[in-house]
Amino acid sequence: MVHALIAAGLVDEYRLFVYPVVLGHGTCLFTETVDGMGMLRMVETRLFNSGVVLLRYRVV
């Protein structure tokens, strides 16, 4: 469903929480290029005491 919303151009902001866990290899967040995703502009970063980082992007 998320990919359908992105493809329809209905997502205007992404909020990603990055957790400091070592798994070996990185995991792809978006497994394929999604039409309608557009260019992203970082609007906020926030570091929490736990080490978690919030990354907030807006679609331009």
Instruction: Report the distance separating Cα 4 and Cα 37, nearest Å.
Output: 11
18-59 residue pLDDT tens:
988 777 776 677 766 566 667 889 999 999 999 999 999 999
Record the tokens describing residue 50, joined without a space: 């736990």
Q: Considering its fold, how many domains does the chain have in total?
A: 1
Structural domain span for residue 39: 2-59
Contact 22, 41 (CB under 8 A): no
More confident of the two residues 1 and 15? 15
Look up the pTM and report it: 0.74
